[in-house]
Amino acid sequence: MRRLAHGDNAGVHVVIVGGGFGGLAAARHLARARVRITLIDRQNYHLFQPLLYQVAGAVLSPADIASPLRAILRRQRNAAVRMATVDAVDAPGRAVVLDNGDRVDYDALILAAGARSHYFGHEDWRSAAPSLKTLEDALDIRQRVLAAFERAEWAERDAEQRELLTFVVIGGGPTGVELAGTLAELARRTLAREFRRIDPRTARVLLVEGEAGVLKGFPDELRERALVDLQALGVEVRLGKHVQKIEPGRVVVGDDPIAAGTILWAAGVQPVPMVQSLGVPLDRGRVLVADDLSVPGEPRIFVVGDLAAVRRPDGEWVPGVAPAAIQMGRHAAANVLRLQAERPTEPFSYRDRGTLATIGRRRAVAVLGKRRFTGWLAWLVWLFVHLMAIVGFRSRLVVLIDWAWSYVTFQRHARILRRVRPWEADKGAPV
């Protein structure tokens, strides 16, 4: 490849699409570099996605896990933030195209736009069974869950009450397990004595998983333990069953129709469709990148995080987790600097530091290096790792307080409902 930019290569313009873990790591890695950075995101904040389910469960406020990108990059004078949606990459023209038609030219491009929920061709299921990828999603789920209890309290018919107090979570990965666990604890503990006509402890929480166990990818002993922990929390786990049909208020699992007021989807994600504009081969929507994370044939475009399909030496895919996105973001930024210095890029290698999933109060499973943890100890590891990873001292302190308060009192503070009539189905955007 020829030089990155015209002139002295110092005015190189690096465009980063996406302010999640990968994009933000890339921007920060370039803090002292002689480049201009434009970070483009549809949102004005970096979202700490691993705790999104706690917003859905009313444990945390949205702002506790959403840090303004401008505030994060305030002191990084070479970085500008643009709140916009990228529709396509025009690789021959070296520009990204925004959805208002504006073009942003780049000398080097890092695509870190992440994934969205995936309904495997059943797009009509999306409104009946919302998923959990964005802050809006989390608030929508919080609204539906809290409103279900309010509606059940004043429901006239027993069947209606039972339906409203049935919650089905589809998908037994970390998100599904966390959601089911937080719903079970909400019903059994937080709301236990707050209603006068219904007993929220009688609420049913079902977790549906097509595989033979939850938490695919974890060691078998931890998967077994997670199942036991879920059942101890009162979650009914349906394994080896696939969802055949979803309608508002009704889901068919295997041959079994279940009347459920709240149905949540945690069964799959896929990369944002914008990468299709690259015109290169994809693996389940992800770009099959070269070993330096560049797009084959496009040495100045790098792809990181959930958008990138990267194999480890053992042939397994690098998982779609935050540490992998951060490592890739830094690596792509370093490769941009190598191009700027007219040196060869280097291949990416993933350092797997472990994996964690929490099930509920004092229950989690963790793999750290070769060590495996369950129960209390895994839960403490989970708390510590997540707390330390949150951006900003203020959020860290407030999340710690909210966790401590919630642990001691069983209460959840962020139980705000939109002004709805509780006997009606909810429509519109959440507050």
d(CA 413, CA 416): 8
d(CA 93, CA 402): 49
CB of 15 to a second copy, least distance (A): 14
d(CA 61, CA 64): 5
> How large is the C-alpha radius of gyration of the chain?
23
Question: Of the two residues 75 and 351, which places its CB atom closer to a second copy in the complex?
Answer: 75
CB of 35 to a second copy, least distance (A): 14
Question: Of the two residues 140 and 292, which places its CB atom closer to a second copy in the complex?
Answer: 140
Report helix, strand or coil for 184.
Answer: helix
Report 13-52 residues binding a second copy (CB under 8 A): 42-45
**# residues near a second copy by CB under 8 A:** 63
Q: Which two tokens stand for residue 170?
A: 């589809």
Question: Of the two residues 82 and 311, which places its CB atom closer to a second copy in the complex?
Answer: 82
Binding mask 145-184 for a second copy (x = CB under 8 A): -x---x--xx------------------------------
Question: Of the two residues 212 and 431, which places its CB atom closer to a second copy in the complex?
Answer: 431
Q: Candidates 193-201, 212-220, 257-265, 267-275 — which segment interacts with a second copy by CB under 8 A?
A: 193-201
Identify the bridge partners of residue 110 per DSSP, sorted by sequence position: 16, 302
> Percentage helix, strand, coil, to 5, in the chain?
35, 25, 40
Binding of a second copy by 377 (CB under 8 A): no
Binding of a second copy by 422 (CB under 8 A): yes
CB of 49 to a second copy, least distance (A): 15
In sequence order, the 6+-apart residues with CB closer than 8 A to the CB of 2 are none
Q: Candidates 68-76, 269-277, 291-299, 355-363 — which segment interacts with a second copy by CB under 8 A?
A: 68-76
Cα pseudo-dihedral 311, 316, 317, 323, rounded to 10: -100
- DSSP 8-state symbol, 317: B
175: how many CB neighbours lie within 10 A of its CB?
25
From 134, 270, 276, 277, residue interacting with a second copy (rule: CB under 8 A): 134
d(CA 176, CA 179): 5
CA 359 to chain centroid, in Å, comes to: 16
Q: Candidates 128-136, 253-261, 283-291, 322-330 — which segment interacts with a second copy by CB under 8 A?
A: 128-136
- DSSP 8-state symbol, 296: T
- Do 234 and 363 touch, CB atoms closer than 8 A? no
Q: Which two tokens stand for residue 107?
A: 């000398």
- DSSP 8-state symbol, 2: -
Binding of a second copy by 76 (CB under 8 A): no
Question: Of the two residues 34 and 216, which places its CB atom closer to a second copy in the complex?
Answer: 34
Closest Cα partner for 361 from 65, 48, 57? 57
Binding of a second copy by 71 (CB under 8 A): yes
From 135, 246, 253, 289, residue interacting with a second copy (rule: CB under 8 A): 135
Q: Candidates 201-209, 225-233, 314-322, 389-397 — which segment interacts with a second copy by CB under 8 A?
A: 389-397
Question: Of the two residues 159 and 397, which places its CB atom closer to a second copy in the complex?
Answer: 397
Tracing tokens 């309608």 back to the chain, one arrives at 247
Question: Of the two residues 48 and 350, which places its CB atom closer to a second copy in the complex?
Answer: 48
Binding of a second copy by 64 (CB under 8 A): yes
In sequence order, the 6+-apart residues with CB closer than 8 A to the CB of 143 are 417, 418, 420, 426, 430, 431
CB of 63 to a second copy, least distance (A): 4
d(CA 209, CA 232): 18
| Residues forming the active site | 178
For 266-424, where are the E strands, in sequence order? 269-271, 282-283, 286-288, 294-295, 298-303, 308-309, 355-360, 363-368, 371-374
Binding of a second copy by 86 (CB under 8 A): no
Question: Of the two residues 159 and 404, which places its CB atom closer to a second copy in the complex?
Answer: 404
- Do 246 and 275 touch, CB atoms closer than 8 A? no
Binding of a second copy by 185 (CB under 8 A): no
Q: Candidates 26-34, 132-140, 162-170, 283-291 — which segment interacts with a second copy by CB under 8 A?
A: 132-140
Binding of a second copy by 415 (CB under 8 A): yes
CB of 40 to a second copy, least distance (A): 11
Report helix, strand or coil for 340.
Answer: helix
CB of 123 to a second copy, least distance (A): 19
Question: Of the two residues 210 and 411, which places its CB atom closer to a second copy in the complex?
Answer: 411
* Contacts to a second copy by CB under 8 A: 42-45, 61-64, 66-68, 70-71, 74-75, 80-85, 99-100, 134-136, 139, 146, 150, 153-154, 191, 193-197, 392-395, 397-398, 401-402, 405, 409, 411, 413-423, 428-431
